[in-house]
Amino acid sequence: MSLEIFDQLNPDSLLEGLNPQQQEAVKYRGRSLLIVAGAGSGKTRVLSHRIAHLLAKKEIYPSQILAITFTNKAAAEMRVRVEGLIGQAGQGMWLKTFHSACLQILRREAERLGHDSNFSVYDTGDTRALLKRLLREAGAEDADIKPAQAAAIISNAKNELKDAEDFARNADRSNPRERIVAEVFQAYTSELRRNNAFDFDDLIGEVVGLFQAFPELRARYQKRFRHVLVDEYQDTNHAQYALIREFTRPLPEEHAIFDDRTGEQLGPADLTVVGDSDQSIYAFRGADIRNITEFERDFPGAKTILLEQNYRSTQNILSAANAVISQNPYRPAKNLWTDAGAGDKITIFTAYDERNEAAFVVDRIKSMHSEGVNYRDIAVLYRTNSLTPSLEAELKSQLMPYAVIGGLKFFERREIKDALAYLSAVSNGRDDEAVRRVINIPSRGIGQKTELKIAQFARQNELSFRQALLMASELQLGPKLTASVMAFGELLNELEAMTVTDGPAEVLKLALSKSGYRSELEMSRDPQDEARVENLDALLGQLFEWQATNPEGTVADYLAEVTLAAAADEIEDESGSVSLMTLHTAKGLEYQAVFLIGLEQGTLPHIRAFDEPGGLQEERRLMYVGMTRARQHLFISHALQRTVFGNTSGFTTSMFLNDIPQELVDSEGQERSIATTREPTKWAGAINTPSAVRDNKDLELAVGDRISHESFGEGGVVSVSGNPPRQTAEVRFLSGVTKRLLVKMAPITKL
């Protein structure tokens, strides 16, 4: 391509409408540049204008630009913006995600790694299916290692650029789990090679390995890409960081590269990274905040430019967010500001319980919508999905359209559908689909062939599938399998008999316990299974609440209500839907009005954060990200009590709320005795609300232990579940009250 194509472009016009700091970032020329872009400061605009400015000044060809993002959406947005500035002249640039850029390189260079260029790329499902077989062949049953767990361990290793040999070398051979994972990792690597395949994590790691093993190849790509730009640099893991270093580190003399036009020796590619350490919230995915905080050390002579002017939020929102994040140590000084005016104060609502909180949120949404705010401009953000049941129920009851972003709606989640299938199987003995859904959940050794045999027998004898279970002795399945099938049928009969004397909540609680479903999830080390336990607890809590207000209600009544409520999901509104999502999902988005719910100790900050290095700092960054999603209205709520697993417990207000200056806040709720759509719950008089942060550190309780509670007095432990730091204890107090407590954070002393 000839550079004359850019003759009609005016580089100075690309600076119009930019503030001084943005202009400096666009014009800067040097080996390495860090743009610290605060929330809402226009980082995508700056990146796009910088690329366009480089081209308009005829400093490089479009094909010499490599711009890397984390999502296809971000890459597409940047391309649209650049082409909007310079037209089709920008064609030929690589605007790609990390993985798509590396895939393209591997397609060209695969033979160097012993692969054909038509290699397959295994997704998560492919990986887990292969690992499932390899674990079975390795005899992993005794070590209780699930494919998802093995996949996570191998993925983490690859993101640290450790291969199977590295992992095996450092594995503790006396630990059965580590030994088996090491063996399976090696077998997995061999299978990938035999199948001419890479997995998702290989794409980056193998390119890094190629560049390190073949300096002449690295030289070729360094000559190709003369300017590398990286978005969201604070989210990079070690492998991604290493890839950037390979593109930009000096070449050995024997592989020096020269400019085709001038004949001059070329140095490494120029590097521009954009990010914000205050928005680094993906440590659980391997992101290393040091990549951005130590950028100037890694790239000596680097220029740093701060973008502090915010174009999204009002000053009150920014001041509150600044106050929260300023409590984090070891962060570069940065203070977001705007010329958009002070705006409304932040509303902090103190709810009696989760129902009161949901009623407040929905009432405010209804009020804003009546004043002309579109539903699509409103979002409700939360730390964990387990906070949504009461909110979703309230939205449905008000026929208000909503969408769960980045995940399934509560009643569409696998574990919730499984739990409701147990209830359906008990309530309606002819519901074959419900029975078949949970016949092997948790695993009972009943496979598809056995299920098909039962179904055929039922049809031949005009029986329901459930009736056929108790006649398994006639199917010639073998003693062990026959016993398993009949035991499942007897469990369903037992649960059905229970419905005569007990409510739906007790039936479901026993079903989850006696089936082994709950214990299987609790024993899993998969973080997703931990979330599933929380969701089941949330379902039980909601069901106990429903039962309290419907004392005569049956299992069938509850299921019918859930089904009818789901009809609200089909409602369409020209103004869109209210968005519900986790704080992690919300990053990069913005809304006119934002509700942050569940601001309690143990939720935000999450209970795990107290035991993880840097955990509290990342939780505070998560809070900061949530607050800065709001343009005009920010509402924050916390509940004094929540019902978990059928038990109501008091909660302490999140420590992060203490960081927000009072002059920026309008407080509402119990403390102001404002009118709400709900009456105080019956537990309102027995709520523990200490102001200090409670941490009982390594305290662990056992059945029979005596404790003293600040509000309820002395009591004895009657049951415990889980292990620290998530251990809960059911305590019967001398007053006759029974409470389930989170041992780590409850205001208790062991006697």
- Tell me whether residue 629 is one of the annotated catalytic residues: yes
Element (H, E) at 390: helix 389-397
Q: CA 235, 236, 239 angle in degrees (round to 5)?
A: 155
Alpha-carbon gap, residue 249 to 500, rounded angstroms = 74
Name the DSSP class of 345: P
Alpha-carbon gap, residue 323 to 325, rounded angstroms = 6
Beta strands (DSSP E) in 165-302 are 197-199, 227-230, 257-258, 265-266, 270-275
Instruction: Please state which of the ranges 240-244, 368-372, 730-734, 738-742 shows the lowest mean pLDDT.
Output: 738-742
> In sequence order, which ranges of 515-599 are alpha helices (DSSP H)?
517-523, 527-549, 555-565, 583-586
Name the region of 480 (left: φ>0; alpha: ψ -120 to 50; beta: rest).
Answer: alpha
The pTM is what? 0.69
Q: Of 231, 415, 534, 618, which one is the catalytic site residue?
A: 231
Give the mean pLDDT of 709-731.
77
Question: Which pLDDT does position 344 carry in this prediction?
Answer: 93
Alpha-carbon gap, residue 603 to 613, rounded angstroms = 17
561 vs 246: which has the higher pLDDT? 246
> What is the pLDDT confidence band of residue 572, given thresholds at 50, 70 and 90?
very low
Question: Which pLDDT does position 3 carry in this prediction?
Answer: 56
Q: Which amino acid is at 284?
A: F
Question: Which pLDDT does position 375 carry in this prediction?
Answer: 93
Q: Which of 651, 621, 582 is nearest to 383 (CA)?
A: 582
- Tell me whether residue 501 is one of the annotated catalytic residues: no
Torsion of CA 688, 692, 698, 702, to 10 degrees: -10
Question: Which pLDDT does position 644 carry in this prediction?
Answer: 67
Instruction: Please state which of the ranges 349-353, 525-529, 543-547, 622-626 shows the lowest mean pLDDT.
Output: 525-529
Q: Of 44, 186, 482, 499, which one is the catalytic site residue?
A: 44
Question: Which pLDDT does position 241 carry in this prediction?
Answer: 93
> What is the pLDDT confidence band of residue 679, given thresholds at 50, 70 and 90?
very low
pLDDT tens per residue across span 457-473: 888 888 888 888 988 88
pLDDT tens per residue across span 408-431: 567 778 898 899 889 888 887 777
Alpha-carbon gap, residue 645 to 737, rounded angstroms = 16
DSSP string, 447-486: -HHHHHHHHHHHHHTT--HHHHHTTGGGS---HHHHHHHH
- Which whole-number Å values give the CA distances from 470 to 418, 435, 476, 484, 612, in the listed order? 21, 13, 13, 10, 49
> What is the pLDDT confidence band of residue 142, given thresholds at 50, 70 and 90?
low
Give the mean pLDDT of 181-204.
86
- Provide the CB-side half-sphere exposure for 418 (13 A, CA): 21
Q: Is residue 479 reached through a cis peptide bond, with omega within 30 degrees of 0 on the bond before it?
A: no
Question: Which pLDDT does position 680 carry in this prediction?
Answer: 36
Q: Of 279, 315, 601, 652, which one is the catalytic site residue?
A: 279
353 pLDDT higher than 80: yes
Question: Which pLDDT does position 80 carry in this prediction?
Answer: 87
Q: Which of 534, 750, 616, 594 is nearest to 39 (CA)?
A: 594
- Tell me whether residue 528 is one of the annotated catalytic residues: no
Give the mean pLDDT of 287-308.
88
**Strand-pair category, 227-230 with 65-69:** parallel
- Tell me whether residue 279 is one of the annotated catalytic residues: yes
250 pLDDT higher than 60: yes
pLDDT tens per residue across span 456-513: 888 888 888 888 898 888 888 888 889 988 999 899 999 988 888 888 889 999 999 8
Q: Which amino acid is at 479?
A: P
Name the region of 307 (left: φ>0; alpha: ψ -120 to 50; beta: rest).
Answer: beta
- Which whole-number Å values give the CA distances from 124 to 131, 145, 332, in the listed order? 10, 17, 37
Backbone φ and ψ for 223, nearest 5 degrees, come out as -70, -35
Mean pLDDT of the chain: 83
Burial of residue 57 (number of CB atoms within 10 Å: 0-12, 13-18, 19+): middle
Q: Which of 289, 113, 137 is nearest to 202 (CA)?
A: 113
Instruction: Please state which of the ranges 16-20, 559-563, 676-680 shows the lowest mean pLDDT.
Output: 676-680
Name the DSSP class of 312: S
Q: Of 226, 334, 532, 629, which one is the catalytic site residue?
A: 629
> What is the pLDDT confidence band of residue 691, given thresholds at 50, 70 and 90?
very low
Question: Which pLDDT does position 403 carry in this prediction?
Answer: 87
26 pLDDT higher than 90: yes
Residues 6+ apart with CB under 8 A from 600: 638, 639, 642, 651, 652, 653, 654
- Neighbouring-strand partners of residue 650: 641
- Tell me whether residue 43 is one of the annotated catalytic residues: yes
Element (H, E) at 738: strand 738-742
Instruction: Please state which of the ranges 62-76, 271-285, 435-449, 734-748 shows the lowest mean pLDDT.
Output: 734-748
- Tell me whether residue 142 is one of the annotated catalytic residues: no
Question: Which pLDDT does position 346 carry in this prediction?
Answer: 95
Alpha-carbon gap, residue 611 to 619, rounded angstroms = 12
Q: Which amino acid is at 172?
A: D
Q: Which of 555, 661, 7, 614 is nearest to 280 (CA)?
A: 614
Alpha-carbon gap, residue 47 to 231, rounded angstroms = 8
Q: Which long-range contacts (CB under 8 A, 24 or more apart) does 564-569 make?
A: 565/393, 565/396, 565/397, 566/396, 566/411, 568/395, 568/396, 568/399, 568/400, 568/401, 569/396, 569/409
Residues 6+ apart with CB under 8 A from 394: 355, 358, 359, 361, 362
pLDDT tens per residue across span 594-649: 999 999 998 899 988 887 788 899 999 999 999 999 999 999 999 998 876 667 78
Q: How many helices (H) and strands (E) does the chain have?
A: 27, 24
- Which whole-number Å values give the CA distances from 53 to 9, 14, 304, in the listed order? 9, 7, 19
